[in-house]
Amino acid sequence: MPMTQQAAPAVSAPPASGPKKETDGRTSERPMWLRLLARPEVGVFLGAVAVFVFFLIAAPPVREAGSMATILYQSSTIGLMALPVALLMIGGEFDLSAGVAVLTSALTASMVSYQLTMNVWVGVVVALIVSLAIGAFNGWLLIKTGLPSFLITLGTFLILQGVNLAVTKLVTGNVATNDISDMDGFEQAKSVFASTFTIGGVGVKITVFYWLIFAAIATWLLLRTKFGNWTFAVGGNKFSARAVGVPVTFTKIALFMGVGFGAWFVGMHQLFSFNTVQSGEGVGQELIYIAAAVIGGCLLTGGYGSAIGPVFGAFMFGMVQQGIVYANWNPDWFMAFLGVMLLGATLVNLWVRNATTRR
Amino acid sequence: MDRTSRPRSRRLPVLVAAAAATALIATGCSSSSGGKEAEESGENIAAGKASTPRMTVALVTHQAPGDTFWDIVRKGAEAAAAKDNIKLIYSAKPEAAEQANLVQNAIDQKVDGIAVTLAKPDAMKDVVSKAEKAGIPVVALNSGVDNWKDMGILSYFGQDEGIAGEALGNRLNQSGAKNAVCVVQEQGHVGLEARCAGVKKTFKGKTENLYVNGTDMPSVKSTITAKLKQDTSIDQVVTLGAPFAMTAVQSVSEAGSEAKVATFDLNKELTGAIEKGDIEFAVDQQPYLQGYLAIDTLWLYKNNGNYSGGGEAPVLTGPAFVDKSNVEAIAKFAAKGTR
């Protein structure tokens, strides 16, 4: 982290405030709205708006503020992870262990504080160290071996899944952790990670604020710092990035550790809102995070994307998931609806990008 | 590779953090309430040990990793095995074909008895008859109440999911609920669907199924909340597993709903919630008993030729209701993770 702050004035200015191009008549500048539409997050923004308006019409309960808070909560738990996953994807890698890593973090915090009868904050700190270490391990192994991140993180995914279960069973004697809600520091930690604010009579979960704050930080990191440039560079072509002096190793490991940080944060939220953790959960979530990032305009091949796009991607996921319930559609079709809506949204996204980048 | 000196300097923050954690522990960050110290139970049930010759029994279930329910089944089986001088081999796979392979594996090891769950009976048919041909007695537990007899299985221990659902439906009629939602945590699971169908059969009010993603608790929570807001006339939430019941209680309060929560299956957090009145009641199928009886019957069969149910009738381990009136007696067993 400290390495990024010491960044001197950002070397290359963000696209928005770039120097005025000299026109020589050979290429005519495309109109402003087309250039705006060509940004990675605009397609998904329009998709999210479409889905939102659709459910606003189809499902009357969505119009209430309270329902909106529920949708935002659902979106935020996906979105908090989709952010670091998106940054990693821009950096050219992805992480299949992200889903179970959330559980690893929550299990660690819970077991450390319970088994040693410690203040829960001790568990929280240990879990952070463990989560960052897992991220660092992923990144380090990737750099050392040169294997694709698919293989490396598939390995960690399986390891973590097994370790989650086996260690929990070994330590607690059960497959779920013990209830820590009566322990010292729990209320404090709950207020940090899992509290609810009342705004205009509506209870809004704190994760929603963290989600937006982290999105702002990620955007700043990506567009205004040297680290952001490095991220784009290593995702585009790591050999040429290395050739021009980008610290590829540092950037990739840091990006994986970012995912570790996200997993820790979401893990803490789960632990402090549900008091206990079941060791079998989290499997399959990694695909949701990756999907939210891809829908949010990040390319699976790396080097392109934004931090604000996944915010809308996660919102779209939350909106569709809850909207189907609010609309009271036949639940047998639940997953199929979800799939169709998401494919549709992705196609809108793709169409907008194609239509606007064409001359 | 070109920056070999860098990683070393980056170890510093990790070391500092580790040192800080150690310092925290050393300076006495221990919790004054809760935690392991408060809950050391120690005394587990153990009867004497049989003097019969050692035998080997395989228990093969369709457990998904990390499910609290199967943990209790296994503990029951282990308790019976310890008492009966049995070496217990436990294995589990949720996919039917792989579970059948595990049974085949037990046959190859020439075990003295097999206890198996029949979540997908058709897939297990062949391998069960192979075991019988090899002269290995087979008992079924937990699932397959409609199929075990045709397969020539010795005994069946479990709950008829349909009957359990009907019992829950009847109970709701007494409490005066009008509109229930049945929360299914795994779409397409036969046993879970049978429970909701049973509730629908006897419950005089309206029943509707709600499918949630059981591997993602925050999503379970917000989906139930959304349902309660969509249909404000819902006055009863029925969940099909203890952890989901705890989450449903949060959803009810978040949605500002008056709905009551009832559930199938039990665990130690749930008994506390029943005591507090957050949860109305739980229908317990006594998983510990299922594991225990299945293993114990195989022992009895080998040593004295007995078998429960006589190969004709299933041995029902549930539905047993746990509510405010009897939760106190059960809570201490649940705390140990055996009930």
pLDDT > 80? residue A186 = yes
- Answer positive or negative: Cα dihedral of B201, B207, B213, B214: negative
- Answer positive or negative: Cα dihedral of A222, A224, A227, A231: positive
Task: In whole angstroms, give the CA distance from residue B326 to residue A42.
Answer: 59
Nearest to B243 among A129, A186, A278 (CB): A278
At B37, the pLDDT band (50, 70, 90 cuts) reads low
Residue B15 is predicted with a pLDDT of 64
Residue A188: C-alpha distances to residues A110, B108, B114, B174, B258 (Å): 15, 55, 50, 42, 29
Rounded to an integer, the average pLDDT of B325-336 is 88
Q: Are B317 and B158 in contact (CB under 8 A)?
A: yes
Is B275 an interface residue toward A (CB < 8 Å)? no
Nearest to A61 among B2, B68, B229 (CB): B229
Q: Which residue of A has its CA nearest to B227?
A: A325
Q: Is A155 exposed, middle or buried (0-12, 13-18, 19+ CB in 10 A)?
A: middle
Q: Is A33 exposed, middle or buried (0-12, 13-18, 19+ CB in 10 A)?
A: exposed
Pairs across A and B, CB distance < 8 A: 191
The dihedrals phi and psi of B236, each to the nearest 5 degrees, come to -150, 125
Rounded to an integer, the average pLDDT of B39-52 is 66
The dihedrals phi and psi of B238, each to the nearest 5 degrees, come to -115, 120
- How is residue A196 written in tokens? 């609810």
> What residues contact residue B333 under an 8 Å CB cut-off, 6+ apart?
B339
Task: In whole angstroms, give the CA distance from residue A115 to residue A42.
Answer: 49
Q: Which tens digits make up the pLDDT trace of A124-174? A: 999 999 999 999 999 999 999 999 999 999 999 999 999 998 898 888 887
The dihedrals phi and psi of B53, each to the nearest 5 degrees, come to -60, 150
Residue B38: C-alpha distances to residues A182, A206, A266, B167 (Å): 10, 31, 28, 37
Distance from CA of A36 to the nearest CA of B (A): 34
Residue, of A337 and A251, whose pLDDT is higher: A251
- How is residue B56 written in tokens? 């080997």
Residue B139 is predicted with a pLDDT of 95
Q: Are B248 and A157 in contact (CB under 8 A)?
A: no
**Three-class SS state of B214:** coil
Q: Which tens digits make up the pLDDT trace of A256-277? A: 999 999 999 999 999 998 888 8
Residue A2 is predicted with a pLDDT of 43
Residue A274 is predicted with a pLDDT of 86
DSSP for B265-284, written as a single string:
S--HHHHHHHHHTSS-EEEE
Tokens 């008549």 — which residue? A25
The pLDDT mean for chain B works out to: 86
In this structure, which amino acid lies at residue A49?
V
Q: Are A152 and A91 in contact (CB under 8 A)?
A: no
> What residues contact residue A292 under an 8 Å CB cut-off, 6+ apart?
A78, A79, A82, A85, A86, A310, A313, A314, A316, A317
DSSP for B318-337, written as a single string:
--EEEETTTHHHHHHHHHTT
The percent of residues above 70 in pLDDT, for chain A, comes to 89
**Three-class SS state of A178:** coil
Task: In whole angstroms, give the CA distance from residue A327 to residue B95.
Answer: 33
pLDDT > 50? residue A14 = no
Is B25 an interface residue toward A (CB < 8 Å)? yes
Could you tell me which residues are beta bridge partners of residue B92? B61
∠ CA A349-A355-A359, nearest 5°, is 150
Could you tell me which residues are beta bridge partners of residue B86? B55
Instruction: Work out the number of other CB atoms within 10 angstroms of the CB of residue B197.
Output: 17
Tokens 């963000």 — which residue? A14
- CB-based contact A174 B71, cutoff 8 Å: yes
Q: Are A346 and A47 in contact (CB under 8 A)?
A: yes
- CB-based contact B66 A115, cutoff 8 Å: no
Distance from CA of B4 to the nearest CA of A (A): 10
Rounded to an integer, the average pLDDT of A216-235 is 94
Task: In whole angstroms, give the CA distance from residue B116 to residue B137.
Answer: 11
> What residues contact residue B262 under an 8 Å CB cut-off, 6+ apart?
B168, B171, B172, B236, B237, B238, B239, B245, B279, B280, B281, B282, B283
Of A318-327, B32-41, B117-126, B282-291, the one with minimum mean pLDDT is: B32-41
Taking contacts as CB-CB distances below 8 angstroms, the residues of chain A near B31 are 113, 117-120, 183-185
Classify residue B66 as left (phi > 0), alpha (psi -120 to 50) or beta: left
Residue, of B332 and A330, whose pLDDT is higher: B332
Is B33 an interface residue toward A (CB < 8 Å)? yes
| Residues making up chain A, counted from first to last | 359
What is the reported pTM?
Answer: 0.77
Cis peptide before A310 (omega within 30 of 0): no
Nearest to B136 by CA among B179, B105, B101, B160: B105
pLDDT > 90? residue A281 = no
- How is residue A288 written in tokens? 């949701």
Q: Which residue of B has its CA nearest to A107?
A: B66
pLDDT > 70? residue B180 = yes
Rounded to an integer, the average pLDDT of A100-106 is 95
- How is residue B104 written in tokens? 């085949």
| Residues making up chain B, counted from first to last | 339
Of A27-31, A307-311, B312-316, the one with minimum mean pLDDT is: A27-31
Is B126 an interface residue toward A (CB < 8 Å)? no
CA B106 to chain centre: 23
Q: Which of B1, B4, B31, B209 should we substitute to test contact with A (largest number of A Cβ atoms within 10 Å)? A: B31
- CB-based contact B229 A70, cutoff 8 Å: yes
Rounded to an integer, the average pLDDT of B2-16 is 53
Q: Which residue of B has its CA nearest to A326?
A: B230
Q: Are A296 and A310 in contact (CB under 8 A)?
A: yes
Q: Are B6 and A3 in contact (CB under 8 A)?
A: no
Q: Are B199 and A321 in contact (CB under 8 A)?
A: no
Q: Which of B1, B181, B193, B217 should we substitute to test contact with A (largest number of A Cβ atoms within 10 Å)? A: B217
Residue A76 is predicted with a pLDDT of 94
- CB-based contact B223 A325, cutoff 8 Å: yes
Q: Are A183 and A113 in contact (CB under 8 A)?
A: yes
Task: In whole angstroms, give the CA distance from residue A304 to residue A291.
Answer: 15
Q: Are A222 and A307 in contact (CB under 8 A)?
A: yes
Rounded to an integer, the average pLDDT of B139-154 is 90
**Alpha helix locations (H) across chain A?**
2-5, 32-37, 40-58, 65-90, 98-115, 120-145, 149-172, 186-193, 206-224, 226-236, 238-243, 248-274, 285-295, 308-326, 334-357
At A3, the pLDDT band (50, 70, 90 cuts) reads very low
- CB-based contact A328 B230, cutoff 8 Å: yes
At B327, the pLDDT band (50, 70, 90 cuts) reads very high
> What residues contact residue B251 under an 8 Å CB cut-off, 6+ apart?
B221, B222, B224, B225, B228, B237
Q: Is B300 exposed, middle or buried (0-12, 13-18, 19+ CB in 10 A)?
A: middle
Task: In whole angstroms, give the CA distance from residue A172 to residue A191.
Answer: 26
Q: Are B168 and B264 in contact (CB under 8 A)?
A: yes
Q: Which tens digits make up the pLDDT trace of A41-67? A: 887 888 889 889 999 999 888 888 888
Task: In whole angstroms, give the CA distance from residue A274 to residue B51.
Answer: 46
Taking contacts as CB-CB distances below 8 angstroms, the residues of chain A near B231 are 328
Rounded to an integer, the average pLDDT of B284-308 is 93
Residue A302 is predicted with a pLDDT of 85
Taking contacts as CB-CB distances below 8 angstroms, the residues of chain B near A250 are 3, 6
Q: What is the DSSP letter of B155?
A: -
Residue B160 is predicted with a pLDDT of 87
Task: In whole angstroms, give the CA distance from residue A229 to residue A10.
Answer: 9
- CB-based contact B3 A249, cutoff 8 Å: yes
Q: Which of A78, A175, A206, A251 should we substitute to test contact with B (largest number of B Cβ atoms within 10 Å)? A: A175
- How is residue B110 written in tokens? 């020439």
The dihedrals phi and psi of B181, each to the nearest 5 degrees, come to -120, 130
Taking contacts as CB-CB distances below 8 angstroms, the residues of chain A near B216 are 281-282, 284-285, 288
